[in-house]
């Protein structure tokens, strides 16, 4: 990618980190945690998925240990987020889910791209995209003693799977990285936005015993 | 081992993967999860233990990232298992626990064997056998917001420990790998089957404060 | 450090391992676990944090796989601890929290020191100190289906953060390792002891929606 695109990509990544961290802050507030709990839930939500991905693909270094901006964004979000969360509501309700969908889209591409960079197959790249996008939120939910939302709720992880398949498929067809990124992110964003707008869900699998 | 034995071993591993994945499918059904949740619970149950083992022993690659059959078996089990689980019961009740005991036995040997291959001590090999055999089920239970069954229930992990000790002990005594494998698997299978048949349990440690 | 100090440090580490393992034993007893459950809870509490740290910093080997004393201390604590926990109370109530504070202090320094040794920044070193000190207890609580105590309770992790900052800051100022260790451990111990004595807490962040 060109330098300008890389800069946009990097800032999008940090934006996604802040959005995910804020969802951890909200959960911590619902559970009446102290300041340390707020930071931990913000951190595991924002960088938990990428950490698991880096461990599994055997990255030379886990990403946030060599670029301290991730930790600073999390700390800043944990501090500022506590005040923002207490403000009387002014943002329309759909702003946060949309920002979260954007974070999901960018995290998915980053995860899939990194797996390909390390030489893994397209199938593993899709899995790594999903892990990067949803594992952090799953750890947040487990720490909060809830069944992870993504296992039950409306289409969320599925949007990440779709984005990952489009991205790796586009690259396999010989498209430029930039185009594949735009297509992949669009896939996640459109499906996730549609799911939010029309409350789409996958069928539930229920056993009665 | 001879090529024939290796083939049998590999197919047994994939069979164990399917059985463990199916126990994740059943749990997902009890919790009314969607299709993605079914796949995640099937995957963490089937490959969660081996993944943790590979991270801790520092394997060059996590096993399922370089052999995509594991992911295909999990996907297939998640799809087919949802239909099978809805069929009117026809199998005798003990089929599934016995298949699970076989999966536990083979996973234990694979975990212990891989640790030895990477140069770890017999004690660490036994621990890695147990992690391979039971950690996936523990993650499944945590995601389902249950206290892991293996920490409370009848003899399960203990059967894995026994198999691991017999296997590494036999190798230390100079036995051939094939014989040690048969003895170790038999140890796990016999103890686990006896525990199922006669409802054997370890003593419970209970504090009343 | 001089050989004598290293010996003291190593024994302190094993002492902290036993104390943390014993807190896992107590939790297992409250949940009526069997013998295997006792060992697992003892183990994850005692070596869970250090294991995550070693995976993230990319240590050559996870510490307890190359020094079997850690596993023996855990096994011994799991066995002896079950009897000790049943004895009529004789120890004053504050002994266990104080021993735990000592374990927290030493684990924090060990985690920070190892991160620095592997070339990470001071900020990452502080994070690794906290992970070493508190992540094991968090896994114990998750396995016991509780919201991790350290996210809600009186100042605990904060004492670990303070110790880590003092330690890495002192080293950055050019102090000798021994002095930085003593100062860092003192910071954790004093803050944690004060928190126990006067029931100090961080402010709670609570959202009412």
Residues of C engaging B, defined by a Cβ cutoff of 8 Å: 25-26, 28-38, 40-41, 51, 55, 60-62, 65, 68, 71, 82, 85-86, 142-145
Q: How far is CA A42 from the centre of its chain?
A: 12
CB contact under 8 A, A55 and C56: yes
Neighbours of chain C (3+ CB pairs under 8 A): A, B
Q: Given this model, what pLDDT does residue C167 score?
A: 97
Residue whose pair of structure tokens reads 């006669």 in the numeric block: B198
pLDDT category at B71 given cuts 50, 70, 90 is very high
B178: pLDDT strictly greater than 80: yes
3-state secondary structure chain B: CCHHHHHHHHHHHHHHHHHHHHHHHHHHHHCCEEHHHHHHHHHHHHHHHHHHHHHHHCCCCCHHHHCCHHHHHHHHHHHHHHHHCCCCCCCCCCHHHHHHHHHHHHHHHHHHHHHHHCCCCHHHHHHHHHHHHHHHHHHHHHHCCCCCHHHCCCCCHHHHHHHHHHHHHHHHCCCCHHHHHHHHHHHHHHHHHHHHHHCCCCCEECCCC
B196: pLDDT strictly greater than 80: yes
Residues of B engaging A, defined by a Cβ cutoff of 8 Å: 26, 28-38, 40-41, 51, 55, 60-62, 65, 68, 71, 82, 85-86, 142-145
From chain A, the residues in CB contact with B86 under 8 A are 207
CB contact under 8 A, A68 and C124: yes
**What is the average per-residue pLDDT within B151-159?**
83
CB contact under 8 A, B205 and C29: yes
Q: Given this model, what pLDDT does residue A92 score?
A: 78
Give the residue from B149, B140, B166, B165 showing the smallest Cα distance to B201.
Answer: B149
User: Both tokens of residue A102?
Assistant: 């954007």
B151: pLDDT strictly greater than 80: yes
Contact assessment for residue B137 and residue B23, using Cβ atoms and an 8 Å cutoff: yes
Residues in chain A: 209
- CB-nearest to C32 from B121, B150, B204 is B204
C91: pLDDT strictly greater than 80: no
- CB-nearest to A207 from B26, B36, B41 is B26
pLDDT category at C1 given cuts 50, 70, 90 is low
From chain A, the residues in CB contact with C145 under 8 A are 145
User: Both tokens of residue A33?
Assistant: 């945690």
CA–CA distance, A150 with A133 (Å, rounded to integer): 11
Task: Give the max Cα distance, chain B.
Answer: 57
B115: pLDDT strictly greater than 60: yes
B209: pLDDT strictly greater than 70: no
Burial bucket for residue B36 (CB in 10 Å: 0-12, 13-18, 19+): buried
Q: Given this model, what pLDDT does residue C154 score?
A: 67
Neighbours of chain A (3+ CB pairs under 8 A): B, C
Segment A5-17, tens digit of pLDDT: 889 989 999 999 9
Segment C107-134, tens digit of pLDDT: 999 999 999 999 999 999 999 999 999 9
Contact assessment for residue B184 and residue B170, using Cβ atoms and an 8 Å cutoff: yes
Task: Give the max Cα distance, chain A.
Answer: 57
Write the DSSP string, C182-198.
HHHHHHHHHHHHHHHHH
What ipTM does this complex have? 0.92
pLDDT category at A18 given cuts 50, 70, 90 is very high
Mean model confidence pLDDT for chain A:
91
* Long-range CB contact pairs, C176-184, < 8 A, 24+: C177/C1, C177/C113, C178/C1, C178/C2, C178/C5, C181/C1, C181/C9, C181/C109, C181/C113, C184/C105, C184/C108, C184/C109, C184/C112
Q: Given this model, what pLDDT does residue A34 score?
A: 86
From chain B, the residues in CB contact with A206 under 8 A are 29, 32
User: Both tokens of residue A178?
Assistant: 């930039």
Q: Given this model, what pLDDT does residue B155 score?
A: 85
- Beta-carbon pairs below 8 A across chains A and C: 79
Q: How far is CA B100 from the centre of its chain?
A: 7
B21: pLDDT strictly greater than 60: yes
Q: Given this model, what pLDDT does residue A154 score?
A: 67
CA–CA distance, B44 with B207 (Å, rounded to integer): 32
Q: Given this model, what pLDDT does residue A202 score?
A: 78
Q: Determine what percent of chain A is predicted with pLDDT higher than 90.
A: 69
CA distance B60 to chain A (A): 8
pLDDT category at A71 given cuts 50, 70, 90 is very high
Segment C12-23, tens digit of pLDDT: 999 999 999 999
Q: Given this model, what pLDDT does residue B208 score?
A: 66
Q: Given this model, what pLDDT does residue A90 score?
A: 67
Mean model confidence pLDDT for chain C:
91
Q: Which residues contact B68 (CB under 8 A, 6 or more apart)?
A: A121, A123, A124
Q: Given this model, what pLDDT does residue B88 score?
A: 73
Mean model confidence pLDDT for chain B:
91
Q: Which residues contact B167 (CB under 8 A, 6 or more apart)?
A: B108, B109, B112, B113, B125, B129, B180, B181, B183, B184, B187
**What is the average per-residue pLDDT within B174-186?**
96
CA–CA distance, C58 with B146 (Å, rounded to integer): 32
- CB-nearest to A33 from C55, C58, C152 is C152
Q: Given this model, what pLDDT does residue A88 score?
A: 73
CA–CA distance, B69 with B13 (Å, rounded to integer): 11
Q: Given this model, what pLDDT does residue A200 score?
A: 82
Provide the strand spans (E) within chain A.
33-34, 204-205
- CB-nearest to C36 from B55, B142, B157 is B157
C30: pLDDT strictly greater than 90: no
CB contact under 8 A, C151 and A41: yes
Question: Taking the model in full, what pTM does it have?
Answer: 0.94
Question: Quick one: CA torsion of C146, C148, C154, C159, rounded to 10 degrees?
Answer: 160
User: Both tokens of residue C177?
Assistant: 């390792």
Backbone angles phi, psi at A34, to 5 degrees: -90, 180
Segment C179-205, tens digit of pLDDT: 999 999 999 999 999 998 888 877 778
Segment A159-188, tens digit of pLDDT: 999 999 999 999 999 999 999 999 999 999
A124: pLDDT strictly greater than 90: yes
Cα angle, residue B65 at apex, residues B63 and B66 outer, rounded to 5°: 75
B1: pLDDT strictly greater than 70: no
Q: A38-53: string of b/e by CB count within 10 Å (b at 16+)?
A: bbbbbbbbbbbbbbbb
């Amino acid at each position: 990618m060109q330098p300008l695109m890389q800069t946009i990509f990097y800032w999008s990544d940090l934006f996604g980190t802040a959005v995910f961290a804020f969802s951890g802050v909200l959960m911590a507030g619902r559970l009446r945690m102290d300041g340390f709990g707020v930071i931990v839930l913000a951190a595991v939500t924002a960088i938990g998925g990428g950490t698991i991905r880096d461990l599994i693909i055997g990255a030379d270094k886990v990403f946030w240990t060599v670029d301290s901006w991730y930790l600073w964004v999390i700390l800043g979000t944990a501090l500022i987020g506590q005040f923002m969360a207490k403000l009387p509501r002014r943002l329309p309700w759909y702003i946060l889910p949309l920002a979260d969908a954007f974070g999901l889209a960018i995290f998915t591409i980053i995860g899939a791209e990194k797996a390909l960079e390390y030489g893994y197959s397209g199938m593993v790249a899709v899995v790594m995209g999903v892990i990067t996008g949803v594992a952090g939120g799953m750890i947040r939910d487990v720490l909060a003693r809830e069944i992870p939302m993504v296992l039950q709720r409306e289409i969320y992880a599925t949007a990440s799977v779709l984005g990952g398949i489009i991205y790796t498929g586009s690259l396999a067809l010989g498209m430029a990285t930039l185009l594949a990124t735009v297509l992949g992110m669009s896939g996640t964003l459109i499906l996730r936005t549609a799911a939010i707008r029309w409350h789409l869900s996958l069928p539930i699998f229920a056993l009665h015993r």
